[in-house]
Amino acid sequence: MAKKAKAKKAAPKAKQVAKKKPAAKPAARRIVAARKPAAAKRATPKSPPPKAKAAARKRKWVYAFGDGKAEGAAAMRNLLGGKGANLAEMSNLGLPVPPGFTITTEVCTYYYDNKQTYPAGMDAEIDAALARVEKIVGAKFGDASNPLLVSVRSGARASMPGMMDTVLNLGLNDVTVQGLAKQSGDERFAYDSYRRFIQMYSDVVLGVGHENFEEILELHKEDKGVSLDTDLDAADWRQIVEEYKTKVKEKLGKPFPQAPRDQLKGAIAAVFGSWMNDRAKTYRAIHGIPADWGTAVNVQAMVFGNMGDTSATGVAFTRDPSTGDNSFYGEYLVNAQGEDVVAGIRTPQHITIAEKQKVGSRLPSMEESMGATYRELRRICDRLERHYRDMQDIEFTVQRGKLWMLQCRSGKRTAKAAIKIAVDMVKQKLISKAEAVTRIEPASLDQLLHPTPDPKAEKQVIAKGLAASPGAASGKVVFDAHDAETWAGRGEPVILVRVETSPEDIHGMHAAKGILTARGGTTSHAAVVARGMGRPCVSGAGALRIDYRGQVMTVGTHTVRQGDTITIDGSTGEVILGTVPTIEPELSGEFGTLMQWADQLRRMKVRTNAETPLDAGTARKFGAEGIGLCRTEHMFFEASRIAAVREMILAADKAGRERALAKILPMQRQDFVELFRIMAGLPVTIRFLDPPLHEFLPKTEADFDAVAKATGVDIATLKHRERQLEEANPMLGHRGCRLGITYPEIYAMQARAVFEAAAAVAKELKRSVVPEIMIPLVATRQELEMMKRVVDEAAKAVMAETGTKLSYLVGTMIELPRAALRAREIAEVGEFFSFGTNDLTQTTLGISRDDAASFLDDYVAKGILPADPFSSLDTAGVGELMQIAVERGRQARRDLKLGICGEHGGDPASIYFCEKIGLDYVSCSPYRVPIARLAAAQAAINKEKPASEA
């Protein structure tokens, strides 16, 4: 009984491989463990240990910027974080940047390494930097009549949109708010700013959730009988501020902090603390960002976009982040502060007239309403793009007509846009072809390789939103991120539907096939995060009425409940009822140009793993240069063949087996004919039978019946034979070449089928066809020698029968540690090696590939393994064996052909490793061929894989 259970469990080998055919999601699985998470929970900073203090003293912890100069620069990204480095760079360029300072990422690392304490000397550096800001601005932190207010923002090395917390208007208290009112001449503005500060600070730093404050505000509006914030006056805000403070006191048992230095201290600690919050950890896990990179803290003089109708706040992209078109693109909000645009709470206006007209908006564009400021913004953006030689994503604020730059960074973009921008920039002579090739994240090509809705298909469009992230996705509607995760975990495709998303939803967005929101622009959280993840997204579909409580949404007369299927098209913004048929993408234009450059720059060839004409054809279309692995056992699963295969397996003797093999031979021959035709002279590697036998054994009574009928053997005898064949651990059982050793007639039949097909196609195409015959699971030289003899004999026979001269290679997979170690003697016989890294990983780590899922995630989360070794090569262990095999194999045979055909052949990080150890080719599933072509080019250009700068 126990035996049976085990055998069953191991059964999905073939299934598992087949399932992997569409591109896997390697990046998502590359989880890096949080650094010392326990430390984050410990409270109250204490003095650092003396030794750490001494070591720390030499370093500089705070870097100032503003007023046309900075102590930092763009190149110091690792130390200052992306935001800090670019603020410094913009200051150095003389652009209008509110002055401020950056507390380095090393402080964050120190903080977590030293029981949440700060390095000695940091406070003094903050004092000096703050004094410099005061001098530039002409205001004083905490001053009653002329107070300096600051923002406190996080800024990691890699951009983490929405992940880290921000505090604005810091420095306001009961006294300075009056100073701000006098200084600005706008009491309403001052108290509005103060209540925003109390809410944000309480939420982010003190842990008093924003809902507490929203409730107070709503009640106040109700009492007053108004619905908009703009209907409230200074007296209202003053009263609300009092109620907010009372709420904080009630929740915390102590008053809201009034001393600006205490406020600043709290905010800095909160930013460092938020590096370890769940949202940040999830984002890092998804994007492979190491926890020890840390975040910097940026403290910067406040500028206000909410000082009336000549003030505004906005975001802009120097090119369209969705299409890559070289057209300035952006959104802004008049009289708004801070994160209002990105948060997607109000639907923003367009910056340019062109964009406004394109979408048919009636709201004035910035180009119309603030002409001069708009022109200055354009000048600055052009300059930044030329300076960084990349598309920039910019945040700005206009305070009473004066433009301030708050951030610039290389903008996130869709894969389609990334390719267009890179190709256009080569044409503009801004970057080289090699640079263009290295700028595209190989895994992101996945977005382009996926089907889009068939334009001829009937579809019932129920709503239209913004085309926020391309591609089409169908799935069952869920309204909650947790449900998305649970349903997806059960294998159900889901579309996450939200009014708007927030960073708390990130795990659900990741689990979903697509994301649909009712509110928010193309720079809203949902849009930005979906693009980064490569998920289709439609945002701002304003016609949706979503009722979370009832788990239902209505659109006009349509009602869509949780579990109903919809399709979203992130390229058009359409929301469609039901599932829509899709068509394959067109891989031409800029994509073709970029791939051509990649092909010119790469050294390794790219082949595909394919056994059906459909897969082989798809792979050719994607640029495969041959077949690196044709798993012949996969050809046996078809209903018309399986009976003959079972007959062969269950045969009691050689004669019985040969009768069955005679039935299989013509089918195999036809398979190979088709593959040789499609590959038209390109190399085709045919791997001989390698099934854990249990995968083919009859399972149901009907299966036994069919075999009994075909063979004339009674069912009881067949069942007895089936029990004889049962194995405790089929993955390490009678599979691979061990089958060929016991039953050489099986491999003889396969060799004959290959050679007869090669002879026929060579004649038909009038060109030579050179099959590469690959023997699986070889551990010893003798095994390969014996199998080669079988192949050679078949070749000789077919050549004699057909009168055709045939060339062919016989090689082996390296998928057992012994084979890697004894590679030298194995290469004396084998003419090529192909690393079967699925089995090599399984056998090196001793982790069953069928049973790994239940615990591997835990291993990765705990930092024992850097990634799932079945998705991304364990370069330290499995990689070392590969390196040994390469060296020893080439000692015996200098021209030994070397490839890889495990799943890792389509994983960019593993491809870097293959380039480094000098493999000749990688082979992967058809949909990953373009990814592999690009990754191989990048590996040839860079050799070392750069750490992810997601």
Residue 813 CB, shortest distance to Mg ion, in Å, is: 6
Q: Give the separation between CA 498 and CA 519, rounded to whole angstroms.
A: 8
Q: Which residues contact 807 (CB under 8 A, 6 or more apart)?
A: 768, 770
Catalytic residue among 901, 904, 914, 924: 901
Is the Cβ of residue 16 or residue 310 nearer to ligand PEP in the bound state? 16
3-state secondary structure 96-116: CCCCEEEECHHHHHHHHHCCC
Cα-based distances in Å from 922 to 601, 603, 611, 893, 933: 15, 11, 17, 20, 9
CA distances from 736 to 6, 406, 739, 747, 886 (A): 20, 62, 6, 11, 22
What tokens appear for 409 in the block? 């960074």
CA dihedral 701, 704, 708, 714 (to 10 degrees): -70
Q: Within positions 142 to 161, which residues make up the interface with ligand PEP, using CB under 6 A?
A: none
Among 632, 837, 875, 938, binds ligand PEP (CB under 6 A): 837
Count of alpha carbons within 13 angstroms of residue 849, beta-carbon side: 26
**525 flagged as catalytic:** yes
* Cα-based distances in Å from 271 to 197, 348, 799, 818: 16, 28, 74, 51
Nearer to ligand PEP among residue 204 and residue 884 (C-beta)? 884
- Answer yes or no whether residue 570 interacts with Mg ion by CB under 5 A: no
Q: Which residues pair with 554 in a beta bridge?
A: 545, 559
Q: How far is the CB of 328 from ligand PEP (least distance, A)?
A: 49
> Cα–Cα distances in Å, from 449 out to 389, 452, 595, 753, 907?
27, 9, 13, 34, 16
Which C-beta is closer to ligand PEP: that of 257 or that of 628? 628
Q: For residue 442, give the amino acid letter.
A: P
Instruction: Report the C-alpha gap between 831 and 553 in whole angstroms.
Output: 62
Q: Which of residues 690-719 bind ligand PEP (CB under 6 A)?
A: 690
Give least dist CB 737 to Mg ion, A: 11
Q: Cβ neighbours of residue 235 under 8 Å, at least 6 residues apart?
A: none
Tell me the C-alpha distance between 846 and 840, whole Å: 9
Using the rule CB under 6 A, is 843 a contact of ligand PEP?
no
Spatial distance between the Cα atoms of 129 and 809, rounded to a whole number of angstroms: 70
Burial 429-468 (b: 16+ CB within 10 A, else e): ebbebbebbbbbbbbbbbbbbbebbeeeeebeebbbbbbb
If the CB atoms of residues 633 and 839 are measured against Mg ion, the closer one turns out to be 839
Catalytic residue flag (residue 220): no
* Candidate list 137, 422, 806, 901; residue touching ligand PEP; CB under 6 A: 901
Residue 615 within binding range of ligand PEP, rule CB under 6 A: no
Cβ 770 to ligand PEP shortest distance, Å: 21
Which of 412, 735 has the CB closer to Mg ion? 735
Nearer to ligand PEP, 122 or 856 (CB): 856
**Least distance to Mg ion, CB of residue 608, Å:** 16
Site string for ligand PEP, 656-695 (x = CB under 6 A): ----------------------------------x-----
Q: Which of the stretches 118-126, 370-378, 790-798, 831-839 binds ligand PEP when contact is defined by CB under 6 A?
A: 831-839
* Active-site annotation holder among 287, 350, 525, 694: 525
How far CA 523 is from CA of 44, 350, 388, 768, in Å, comes to: 38, 12, 21, 55
Say which entry of Mg ion, ligand PEP, none residue 901 contacts (CB below 5 to 8 A, set by partner kind).
ligand PEP
Among 439, 631, 752, 933, binds ligand PEP (CB under 6 A): 631
Q: Does 838 interact with ligand PEP (rule: CB under 6 A)?
A: yes
Q: Which of 442, 540, 836, 866 binds ligand PEP (CB under 6 A)?
A: 836
Please answer whether residues 833 and 822 qualify as being in contact, where contact means their C-beta atoms are separated by less than 8 angstroms: no
Beta bridge partners of 609: 629
Helix/strand/coil percent split, the chain, to 5: 50, 15, 35
Which residue type occupies 116? Q
| Cross-strand bridge partners of residue 835 | 814, 900
| 902 is a site residue for ligand PEP (CB under 6 A) | yes
Which is closer to Mg ion, CB of 706 or CB of 731?
731
Q: With CB under 6 A, what is the number of residues at the site for ligand PEP?
A: 11
Q: Please choose which of ligand PEP, Mg ion, none residue 573 contacts, taking the beta carbon within 5 to 8 angstroms, the exact cut-off set by kind.
A: none
Query: Smallest distance from the beta carbon of 910 to ligand PEP, in angstroms?
Result: 12
Dihedral angle, C-alpha 853, 857, 863, 869, nearest 10 °: 40
Q: Which of 505, 839, 868, 915 binds ligand PEP (CB under 6 A)?
A: 839
Per DSSP, the three-state class of 788 is helix
**789 to 828: interface string for ligand PEP, x by CB under 6 A:** --------------------------x-------------
Residue 631 binds which one of Mg ion, ligand PEP, none, with CB within 5 to 8 A depending on kind? ligand PEP
Contact partner, 165, from Mg ion, ligand PEP, none, Cβ < 5-8 Å per class: none
Nearer to ligand PEP, 424 or 695 (CB): 695
Q: Which residues contact 557 (CB under 8 A, 6 or more apart)?
A: none
Beta carbon of residue 907, minimum distance to Mg ion (angstroms, whole number): 16
Q: 899 is in the binding site of which of Mg ion, ligand PEP, none (Cβ under 5 to 8 A by kind)?
A: none
774 binds ligand PEP (CB under 6 A): no
Backbone angles phi, psi at 605, to 5 degrees: -80, 160
What is the nearest approach in angstroms of ligand PEP to the Cβ of residue 410?
Answer: 37
Please report, as residue ranges, which positions from 818 to 847 form the binding site for Mg ion (by CB under 5 A). Answer: 836, 839
Q: Is 772 in the site for ligand PEP (CB under 6 A)?
A: no
Footprint (CB under 6 A) of ligand PEP, residues 864-893? none
Strands (E), 617-715: 627-631, 684-687
If binding is defined by CB under 6 A, does position 847 make contact with ligand PEP?
Answer: no
The 3-state DSSP class for residue 551 equals: coil
- Minimum distance, C-beta of residue 166 to ligand PEP, in the bound complex (Å): 47
- Compose the 780-819 pattern: x for residues touching Mg ion by CB under 5 A, - for all others: -----------------------------------x----
Among 7, 17, 473, 806, contact with ligand PEP (rule: CB under 6 A): 17
Nearer to ligand PEP, 90 or 629 (CB): 629
Residues that bind ligand PEP (CB under 6 A): 17, 629, 631, 690, 815, 836-839, 901-902
Residues that bind Mg ion (CB under 5 A): 815, 836, 839
Catalytic residues: 525, 901
